[in-house]
């Protein structure tokens, strides 16, 4: 009997211990989530796909045949040089911490060369799906090094977007120096403002889920500044020069569309419902913008064009980028339609009227699209998507004001910074291609190659 009593007591002790463990309020140590990590590796590859070959094909098809290799080379070298800059100092300046009055504006060098970062460390920046660790800090469920690599792809594609403004007339040497300087002194500070927990716009409450301000407005303003400072192409007559290969254009646009799922849906840093929403609204906004551009092409110019529908899709993708983690389907539809109408007018009417030579409409699509998307994020942000955020249609008009502050501060900083760096580059190495080189084509004069060779 005594033996049975001891057995029952032991069983009761085990049962009680199990219940106590289940009801414990002690925090669980954060750990890597395999699903989130796998998704973020794929998303990182998707964003790289946007640059090479996506953007290279899209821009390369829009230029003349004598300049297509120059565009390809510019995109490729940006992937190489900005990736190196990112691990040397870019990531630390963008997401690291500095001391004193500089803290809200730029990071320090604690993570230069990725110093002090181990492969077992978790990502410290995780907005939508965070755990509170034992030390009280917010950590994510993916390795820190994957977050670094993911953000590297954003640092890469941002200066690559500027190529569309100065295509066909910039010397490769000047382009190379300018890109390095711009990445360090313009991209990194703006990324810190918006995405670092120390950044002043982050603390102000600016919403930018995947780069409407950091990437598109930043690059778009740099694009219009460089386009004006370089001057027009020698044979530019206020109307677009016909693209040499529209097949490249539509293939590039298609790759951008696919890659954008990693760009937007990956920005929640988890394989969860928020990523699903970002993926859905990204697709719907792009579809709405493409359809709207198609209809305007058909009714105004009497023929729907492949270049037009491709450009419309990209405009929709740009505008939904800051909003993807905050808006639902109604917001995505409105954003897609509005941005397509405005960007169509910028490309078809405003640019010819003002006469500036934004070669491939980097400002007209990315700059304007980013501005529209950032402001409309403040209008359509829905607490049904993330309960902590709401926009004007839910009574939070303050969010629109915050978005406007973010938009105008980045316009001013990027514009002034680009102007200064352009002047420095011009003094150091020169930046405009010569008339002779421009006439012959930059493929042959800058690289000694031609894209298309005819052999008997």
- pLDDT value at position 453? 83
Domain boundary assignment for the chain: 34-447
The CATH code belonging to domain 34-447 is 1.10.3430.10
The answer on pLDDT for 283 being more than 50 is yes
CB 291 within 8 A of CB 284: no
- pLDDT value at position 138? 55
* Residues 246, 394: Cα–Cα separation, whole Å: 43
Residue 128 pLDDT grade (very low, low, confident, very high; cuts 50, 70, 90): very low
* Residues 307, 346: Cα–Cα separation, whole Å: 15
The answer on pLDDT for 439 being more than 90 is yes
Which of the residue ranges 81-95, 234-248, 309-323, 415-429 would you say has the lowest mean pLDDT? 234-248
- pLDDT value at position 454? 73
Close Cβ partners of 450 (under 8 Å, ≥ 6 residues apart):
66, 69, 441, 443, 444
The answer on pLDDT for 135 being more than 70 is no
Mean pLDDT confidence for 105-133 = 77
* Residues 357, 232: Cα–Cα separation, whole Å: 5
Mean pLDDT confidence for 191-196 = 95
- Of residues 269 and 26, the one with the higher pLDDT is 269
Contacts made by residues 345-354, CB under 8 angstroms, sequence distance 24+: 347/311, 348/300, 352/238, 352/239
In a 3-state reduction of DSSP, which class is residue 170?
Answer: strand
- pLDDT value at position 3? 58
- pLDDT value at position 243? 95
Global pTM value: 0.91
- Can you say how many angstroms the Cα of residue 285 is from the centroid of all Cα atoms in its chain? 16
- pLDDT value at position 127? 46
Mean pLDDT confidence for 131-138 = 40
- pLDDT value at position 373? 98
The answer on pLDDT for 232 being more than 70 is yes
pLDDT of 32-82, one tens digit each? 899 999 999 999 999 999 999 999 999 999 999 999 999 999 999 999 999
- pLDDT value at position 123? 85
The answer on pLDDT for 1 being more than 90 is no
pLDDT of 138-167, one tens digit each? 567 899 999 999 999 999 999 999 999 999
CB 221 within 8 A of CB 410: yes
CB 274 within 8 A of CB 386: yes
- pLDDT value at position 23? 47
Give 32: exposed, middle or buried? Use CB within 10 Å, 0-12, 13-18, 19+: middle
């Amino acid at each position: 009997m005594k033996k049975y009593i001891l057995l029952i007591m032991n069983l009761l002790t085990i049962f009680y211990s199990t219940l106590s463990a289940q009801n414990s309020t002690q925090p669980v140590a954060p750990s890597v989530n395999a699903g989130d990590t796998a998704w973020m590796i794929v998303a990182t590859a998707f964003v790289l796909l946007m640059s090479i070959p996506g953007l290279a094909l899209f821009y390369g098809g829009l230029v003349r045949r004598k300049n297509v290799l120059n565009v390809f080379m510019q995109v490729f070298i940006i992937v190489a040089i900005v990736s190196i800059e990112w691990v040397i100092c870019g990531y630390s300046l963008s997401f690291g911490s500095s001391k004193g009055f500089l803290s809200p504006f730029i990071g320090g060098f604690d993570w230069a060369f990725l110093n002090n970062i181990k492969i077992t460390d978790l990502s410290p920046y995780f907005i939508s799906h965070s755990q509170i660790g034992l030390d009280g800090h917010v950590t994510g469920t993916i390795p820190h090094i994957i977050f670094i690599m993911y953000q590297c792809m954003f640092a890469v594609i941002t200066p690559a977007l500027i190529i569309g403004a100065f295509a066909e007339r910039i010397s490769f040497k000047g382009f190379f120096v300018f890109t390095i300087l711009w990445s360090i002194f313009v991209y990194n500070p703006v990324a810190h403002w918006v995405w670092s927990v120390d950044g002043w716009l982050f603390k102000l409450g600016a919403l930018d889920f995947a780069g409407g301000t950091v990437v598109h407005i930043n690059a778009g303003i740099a694009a219009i500044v460089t386009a004006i400072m370089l001057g027009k192409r020698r044979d530019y007559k206020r109307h677009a020069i016909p693209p040499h290969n529209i097949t490249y254009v539509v293939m590039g646009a298609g790759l951008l569309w696919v890659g954008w799922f990693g760009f937007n849906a990956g920005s929640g840093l988890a394989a969860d419902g928020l990523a699903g929403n970002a993926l859905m609204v990204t697709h719907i906004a792009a579809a709405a913008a493409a359809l709207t551009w198609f209809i305007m092409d058909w009714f105004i110019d009497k023929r729907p064009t492949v270049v037009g529908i491709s450009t419309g899709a990209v405009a929709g993708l740009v505008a939904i980028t800051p909003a993807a983690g905050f808006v639902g389907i109604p917001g995505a539809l409105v954003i897609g339609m509005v941005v397509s109408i405005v960007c169509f007018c910028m490309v078809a009417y405003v640019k010819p009227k003002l006469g500036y030579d934004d070669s491939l409409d980097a400002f007209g699509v990315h700059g304007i699209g980013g501005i529209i998307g950032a402001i409309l994020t403040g209008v359509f942000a829905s607490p049904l998507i993330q309960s902590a955020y709401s926009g004007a249609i839910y009574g939070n008009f303050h969010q629109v004001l915050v978005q406007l502050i973010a938009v105008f501060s980045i316009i001013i900083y990027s514009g002034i910074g680009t102007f200064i760096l352009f002047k420095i580059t011009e003094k150091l190495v020169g930046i405009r291609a010569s008339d002779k080189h421009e006439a012959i084509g930059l493929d042959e004069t800058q690289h000694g190659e031609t894209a298309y060779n005819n052999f008997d």
